[in-house]
Structure 1
Amino acid sequence: MKIKYLDGRRLYFAFLAGGRAIIKDFAYLNRINVFPVPDGDTGTNLASTMKAIAEQARPSRSIRESLNSIADAALTGARGNSGLIFAQFIYGLSKELGNEIRVSTARFGESVRNAVRYAYNSIAHPQEGTMLTLIREWAEEVYQNRHRFSDYHELLHHSLEKARKALQETPKKLAVLRKAGVVDAGAKGFVDFIEGVANFIHQGSLKNVMSQELLDIEFQEAPHKVKEDIPYRYCTEAMIVGENLDLQKIKELVVRAGDSAIIGGSETKARFHVHTNHPAELFYALKDLGTIVQPKAEDMKLQAEISLKPKSRVGLVVDSSCDLPSELLEANQVVVIPFPINIGEHVFLDKLTISPEKLYQLMKSGEILPRSAQPSPKTLENWFSFLSSHFESILVLTISSGLSGYHNLVKKVAEKFADKKIRVVDTRHLSGTFGLIVQRLLEGWPGSQDVEELANRAEDLVRKTDLLVDIRTLKYLVKGGRVSPARGLLAKLLNIKPIITLNEEGKAISAGKSFSRKQNFRKILKMVREKHRQHPIHSFALVHVSDPGRAEAYAREIEKVCGKPVSFIMDASPVVGVHNGIGSVGICLTYE
């Protein structure tokens, strides 16, 4: 039977069939992925994009409405370079096709050819021999034969042969493909898609167009395993939503941030991908151009080092509430899971796409109240899957379960890896005391390769660690719901300055109070002297919320008490600072 037109429903199911072909081939696409970086995720990225279309898009009689739904789902679910290029091509197609109920091959040929420029314009530096080449050459073939074939089956079958030939030519256009002896993975994925569409148009059957079995596949977003020097460290993505988005300005900022830059979308929704060394600076610059959601910033350098040369048989995982100098964490291949930070409608990643300094500037300049959230189970699953393939076992240290439900989430996700050795320890601490526990644990890390021994050591250090927090104002604790408004008002009227500590369960309790910051300072130092008299201090650290001067003053006095220099002074993690508020200082002690 000849197919002389496409309507909205037929086009929708054709897309599902094309997506099904990609999903079935995703593992092979991952294996042949060598460009732009050999990170083995092109198949996963394209399959995830297709799965988003299947789950979110809805068919309509109108071609425009069906394509708009598909394009929106593709953009929302786009992953990586390949997913975003494909999404932008579909967006272009949705703009080029009119409001027709039915579209002939002639009209279709014109539209796909015009849609190519949307894909090219999304990339800062288009490279031939990639998916872009396949899209362009296939679209040109469709255009050139739009009048020759009035039957979609004949048109797609003919253009598919051209796409297959173009795919085999990709190694001639890219030396990295030629050297690896493969075709481009993204280009192969596009050929898979056209094959799926062509088969559906020929057979006309909806059976197994997109089976539930394929939709149920969970695509692990495997961390990067790059085997070369990495000039730009973080693989960064996000979506920006709003009204009348300035796509040109967004593109300028993203392109300036690094390489492998792709920006796609519309005036109301845009997605970008870029490799950069400074994701926090990029996100801070973008925040005024729209609402940032779905952030991602993966440390490709750390992932590559773990893949190529793990330094231990035990992998160590902490979360971003752990305050410790990044140099120490990086030197020991410690994985840090970031907490999402919500600032208004924006979503940032703690310490990755928002720095403590910038967040505290925002808190000072307005009445915003950032809120922290838990990482997704999927994030943890992806990391556990990756780490368990490079380490014999994994030790996960978490923020106090008395302050967050994150510890229970980690335990639940770890249970899914019953065949792997994953040990989860509740530090019952956070911020600088969490950091001191990790610092001391790392001192003996090279000499111990047994996860149970290390976990027991961590538990012992938990009991030898103390935190005292000098609170400047209860305003933020009241806003966050941790202190009642009545108590907050009373404290303000009486100028009460509380001192907070953590009990044995890791819950925040009062350790005292004063009626001025000067009194608080003296009282905390008195507590430190008494604690040192009972249990000699092994080391100490200071964390602060935008008050380095007060932290340094504490450091000078505590050094006089114990005779040892401060281990580190640093900004408290935003996930901690948003609750304790501007001016807070954490005095972190660990004992012999």
Structure 2
Amino acid sequence: MTLHHLDGALLKNLVLAGAQNVINNQDFLNKINVFPVPDGDTGSNMSAAFESIAQDILRHPDDIALPDLCHHIAEAALNGSRGNSGAILAQFFQGFLQGVGQHNKIGLEKFAETACIAAKAAHDAISNPVEGTIITVMHDWAKWINEHWDKTASFTELFKQSLEAAKISVAHTPDQLKILSVKHVVDAGAQGFYYFLQGATEFLITQKLPKISIATDIFQKNFESNMINPALDQQTEHLHLAPHATHRNDLDHQYCTECIIHGDNLDIKSVKQKLARWGSSFVIVGGRNKIKIHIHTNAPDKVFRDANAFGELLETKADDMWAQYRANINFYLNKHVALITDSSCNLPQELVVKHNIIMVPLQMIINNQVYLDKVNLSATDFLEKLTDPDNTITTSQPAIADIKVAFNKGFRQSPIVIGIFLSDKLSGTYRSINQIAKQYEEDELYVYDSRNTTGGLGLIVLETAKAIYEGKSVANIKKSILDNIAYTTTFLSFSTLKYAIKGGRVKKTSGFIANFFNLLPVMKIASSGKPEKIGMSFGKNATQRKMIKAAIKYAKSFKDQELIITHVDCLETAQTTQKLLQSKFPQKNIYIVETTPILATHSGPGTLSISVLGKN
């Protein structure tokens, strides 16, 4: 059948066939991903965009009008895009929508014009375009079509011949980008776009649509795509093992950060000028009413703050690329257990990085705006919001999606995953995580209620990380977790009960009486998992002294122990406490960590805690 025009029905089949081909090859794309960062997720990100598109257009009839279909494709690509490559794809389809305009069908000449508009839109979305990537192949493919459309008889011939041009362009990417040449790979995004064109071309030749295997649960699909394929590893190990050992220093920015801004008459240029300064790999896609931002940055909180000034922030995420990189490396280093906790766990960041501890972020809602704990809100900005009486702040357990993402990262790193989480008596986090864990019944996933929080949870997690690092057996690790939970206690003192009352942790009547007499409690969280009052004192200083005395007494009841201090905006007090504890336990390295915002919400500035993990 000779095809001289593109309508909604034909475009729908082309996109579905191309999408399925990308999804089928996503493992290989993940393996050859070395630019802009070697985080091994280009295939997953492109698949996520195409899955979003496919799920949307499958709901519409085959006779859908071409402009309507293009609108649905562009919108679904924008909503489903993830990462650098996903964002570029989204803008390509935004440009395609612009090129089609209101035409219900287009011929070869109009298609050539539309392809050029789409390629240019993808190029213009990037603040610092780099040749030898997906945008190069988009440009070369569109240029070939624009120069040869009048020499081909049909869309089938146009796609067959232009596919060869795209193939040549992909093959030349290492000549344009040094890192690709060094690693002996082509650009993963460019190869992914070629797979899309290849799938579409195959449909035109055979007139047969492949089986569309779009997952109903995109997180499960991404989990499956991120599982290590042994046969594929043998093909690509030489690309990723030794070379990536030098990549860590190349990751100047830690977080792959994305958000969607919704508003009226959004000015893309103004948004770009304001946000691009915060990092690299900046991509902005969308239109006048909705914009999606992608950027690699060390300051996701500042990106979200500035983005919020332009309109309503609908979605935010900040993936730790350093952790993704370490997960890839750790697989090849045969790390036998992956470790997960939640953001209420307080540990020095260097230890989290060293042991590749995966964090599930809890959520804070400030004036109806959702923030991810430890991700998109700095401690300084949080304290300003916390102490502002006009702000309404509540906390929430992690989103189901974030829990699944953490589990999937863990299984990508290791066949065995252990998770240790915030006390069930303090939050619904553990219950939610336990429910999600039931979906992984066929996998080796072990989750534990720490019956603790802040530094106590941190010490339990750290001891587990050390056991994993030392190569201890899983049975030994599991036993030590239970022992550590049983002998870990966190002692707390407060400078005010204002925030505990506001958050509903202390009854208003009791709080009013305590505040009137300046009475403050000394609390502990032990193996029961519940906060227990162990004393009262008049004033902050007396309360702190009583708390420190109780912690020292408990620590001395063990032959060996580990200690950690956490605080909310009282570093000098924490440092004084550290000196005192160091004099009592001179052989110990006692860390000071700032309490995570999710916990500071309920305790307030001036809160001091000492956690002790006893060893018999």
TM-score for both structures, normalised by structure 2: 0.82
Report what 1:524 is aligned to.
Answer: 547
CA change 1:101–1:462 in 2 (3 A) is same
Matched, 1:262 2:283: yes
Deviations 1:456-497 (A, max 9, x none): 223223232222322344443344344455555565566553
Provide the C-alpha distance between the structure 2 equivalents of 1:146 and 1:441, rounded to a whole number of angstroms: 63
Deviations 1:413-462 (A, max 9, x none): 55555665444332211101222334555666665612222332232232
Which is further off, 94-103 or 243-252?
A: 243-252
Aligned residues: 587
Matched, 1:272 2:263: no
Report what 1:381 is aligned to.
Answer: 407
SS of the residue corresponding to residue 219 of structure 1 reads helix
Matched, 1:453 2:476: yes
SS of the residue corresponding to residue 452 of structure 2 reads coil
CA change 1:350–1:2 in 2 (3 A) is same
**Are 2:336 and 2:414, in contact at CA under 8 Å, matched by a contact in 1?**
no
Matched, 1:89 2:109: no
Provide the C-alpha distance between the structure 2 equivalents of 1:503 and 1:473, rounded to a whole number of angstroms: 22
**Are 1:234 and 1:279, in contact at CA under 8 Å, matched by a contact in 2?**
no
SS of the residue corresponding to residue 222 of structure 2 reads coil
CA change 1:200–1:554 in 2 (3 A) is same
Report what 1:242 is aligned to.
Answer: 262
Task: Please list every run of 5 or more consecutive structure 2 residues that lacks an aligned counterpart in the other structure.
Answer: 228-239
Provide the C-alpha distance between the structure 1 equivalents of 2:512 and 2:103, rounded to a whole number of angstroms: 63
Which is further off, 367-376 or 107-116?
A: 367-376
Provide the C-alpha distance between the structure 2 equivalents of 1:509 and 1:437, rounded to a whole number of angstroms: 20
Report what 2:236 is aligned to.
Answer: none
Provide the C-alpha distance between the structure 2 equivalents of 1:442 and 1:128, rounded to a whole number of angstroms: 42
**Are 1:8 and 1:59, in contact at CA under 8 Å, matched by a contact in 2?**
no
SS of the residue corresponding to residue 455 of structure 1 reads helix
RMSD: 3.7
Matched residue type, 2:524: T
Provide the C-alpha distance between the structure 2 equivalents of 1:276 and 1:589, rounded to a whole number of angstroms: 35
Report what 2:80 is aligned to.
Answer: 77
Report what 1:137 is aligned to.
Answer: 140
Deviations 1:9-28 (A, max 9, x none): 54334322221222222233
Matched residue type, 1:98: G
Which is further off, 362-371 or 111-120?
A: 362-371
Task: Please list every run of 5 or more consecutive structure 1 residues that lacks an aligned counterpart in the other structure.
Answer: none
Deviations 1:273-326 (A, max 9, x none): 33344444544554444426240222425335524546x654443332111212
SS of the residue corresponding to residue 459 of structure 1 reads helix
Report what 2:212 is aligned to.
Answer: 210
Matched, 1:293 2:315: yes
Report what 1:251 is aligned to.
Answer: 272
Deviations 1:50-98 (A, max 9, x none): 0011223554844333222211211221122222211111111222332
Report what 1:22 is aligned to.
Answer: 22
SS of the residue corresponding to residue 283 of structure 2 reads strand
Matched, 1:586 2:609: yes
Report what 1:573 is aligned to.
Answer: 596
The Cα of 1:246 is off from its aligned counterpart by 4.6
CA change 1:417–1:104 in 2 (3 A) is same
Provide the C-alpha distance between the structure 2 equivalents of 1:544 and 1:214, rounded to a whole number of angstroms: 44
Report what 2:230 is aligned to.
Answer: none
**Are 1:380 and 1:413, in contact at CA under 8 Å, matched by a contact in 2?**
no
Matched, 1:433 2:459: no
Which is further off, 221-230 or 109-118?
A: 221-230
**Are 1:112 and 1:139, in contact at CA under 8 Å, matched by a contact in 2?**
yes
CA change 1:298–1:93 in 2 (3 A) is same
Written as runs of structure 1 = structure 2, the 5 A alignment for 1:466-485 is 466-484=489-507
The Cα of 1:122 is off from its aligned counterpart by 1.7
Deviations 1:128-181 (A, max 9, x none): 232212211222233334555674334434433433343344344344445555
**Are 2:366 and 2:391, in contact at CA under 8 Å, matched by a contact in 1?**
no
Report what 2:568 is aligned to.
Answer: 545
Matched, 1:319 2:345: no
Written as runs of structure 1 = structure 2, the 5 A alignment for 1:13-412 is 13-57=13-57, 59=60, 61-146=64-149, 151-178=154-181, 180-201=183-204, 208=210, 210-211=212-213, 218-220=221-223, 222=226, 226-230=244-248, 231=250, 232-243=252-263, 244-252=265-273, 254-290=275-311, 291=313, 293-300=315-322, 302-303=326-327, 305-307=329-331, 309=333, 313-365=336-388, 366-375=390-399, 376-388=402-414, 393-412=416-435
Identical-residue share of aligned pairs (%): 28
